[in-house]
Structure 1
């Protein structure tokens, strides 16, 4: 749909499939996966841990 023959695909989400991201190459209707980023490496978890470290009780259960 981009109009390009090949395109770089970066998908970032929370952790639905225990992954926080994926890097792939799209060519026509084919998608070739280059790299996946595990949930433990997500920016969201980094942010939450940083906030907890700095002392915010906003996320305390």
Structure 2
């Protein structure tokens, strides 16, 4: 996780993917995206309450 922000009983966490995978034809596929998780604290434990995935990510 690159970025976690907590405010009281809620939090957001951002996970980024900045890599590449090899393809059978010798090329590669870039993996440059991010996912955002929304969390709430329930009975002392953090739970994921929402998710937005595969958003563009431009490192740097």
Q: TM-score, normalised by structure 1?
A: 0.41
Higher relative contact order (CA 8 A, sep 6+): 2
**Structure number having the greater helix percentage:** 1
**Structure number having the greater strand percentage:** 2
